[in-house]
Structure 1
């Protein structure tokens, strides 16, 4: 006999991770913001979700959306946590690298013509 499926809902509502706050202290954060660990040690008095976030970021960098997925929290909740941690110096956040400009069509056509010439040779 198979056990009943586990309910995947959180036992504690996500908004409690932010003490009920719905807006981050800074509006510069978006889904693609890159998060890095700061050099300051993590204090013992931070909320468990914030501690998990800092520990998750320590080995390297993650986007805010990736961190939210790992923590299984909504992006909006993670934005509030990240803003608090950045404000306190426990995380660093930077804007994502902008999309590279596409090469001009003429350059691509010249490259394609050159490849066709090489293929015929």
Structure 2
């Protein structure tokens, strides 16, 4: 008789990663909030989930949704963890760039066409 297939679910429920809390300490974090580590070294006294989150963000920045995907945790859990780390000063969070401040698509297409022309000449 073969062993039963391994389940890919987490062995520990996600709410335990947040100490049972369902709401973050701040409501300013959404799925597109950009998170980045604020220090080069990891502080002591972190829970394993907080440590994994900071280790992931040491080389650069990711959105909250991307961070959740990499950690294989629900966005709501990462939102609570990130809020705690921002409050403690271990993590920085900034709002995404609004669409109104992004360059227009037509301008980007013209620049791309110009670069293609330069490359082919």
Q: Which bracket does the TM-score occupy, shorter chain normalised?
A: 0.7 to 0.9
Residue in structure 2 matched with residue 11 of structure 1 by the alignment: 11
Task: Indicate yes or no: 2:68 matched with 1:68.
Answer: yes
Aligned-pair distance for 1:73? Answer: 0.5
Q: Which runs of 4+ in 1 moved over 4 A?
A: none
TM-score in terms of structure 2 length? 0.78
Q: Distance in 2 between matches of 1:84 and 1:76?
A: 13
Determine which structure has more spread, i.e. the larger CA radius of gyration. Answer: 1
Distance 1:43 1:52, change over 3 A: same
Aligned-pair distance for 1:99? Answer: 1.2
- The alignment yields a C-alpha RMSD, in angstroms, of 2.4
Residue in structure 2 matched with residue 91 of structure 1 by the alignment: 91
TM-score in terms of structure 1 length? 0.78
Q: Distance in 2 between matches of 1:57 and 1:4?
A: 36
Structure 1 unpaired stretches of 5+: 112-121
Count of paired positions: 107
Contact 1:24 1:83 (8 Å CA) reproduced: yes
Contact 2:40 2:58 (8 Å CA) reproduced: no
Structure 2 unpaired stretches of 5+: 111-121
